[in-house]
Amino acid sequence: MELKLALKVNDKDNVATIFANGITDGTRVEMRDKKGRAEEMTVHGQVPYGHKIALQDIKKGEHIIKYGESIGAASADIRKGEYVHVHNLEALRGRGDL
């Protein structure tokens, strides 16, 4: 069976990027970080190549961290392994109201 990979780039990150095709609900992926640590996770939802999954439960309003920086806030509760994208992530930059 082909190993499905996800990569955590920075120690602060709470999301990882999927580097595999055919990720559907229930797929097992191996999350790796730059220190060589690996953790197997179950994905919730369909996740396209190059998109993100949550590495931990993230509550509504908490920051989504990728590359060690906030890329937005959760617009809904997100569970570990769930697809993170525009349907549950709200951009915080360039809004004009902050």
What does the alpha-carbon distance between residue 37 and residue 33 come to, in Å, rounded to a whole number?
6
Q: What are phi and psi of 44, to 5 degrees?
A: -115, 110
CATH of domain 5-90: 2.30.130.110
**pLDDT for the residue numbered 95:** 55
Look at residue 98 and tell me whether its pLDDT is greater than 60: no
Which residues have C-beta within 8 Å of that of residue 64, sequence separation ≥ 6? Answer: 14, 15, 52, 58, 70, 71, 72, 73, 74, 84, 89
Enter the pTM of the model.
0.91
User: How do the domains of the chain map onto residue ranges?
Assistant: 5-90
Q: How does pLDDT run across 11-66, given as a tens digit for each residue?
A: 999 999 999 999 999 999 999 999 999 999 999 999 999 999 999 999 999 999 99
Helix (H) or strand (E) holding 23: none
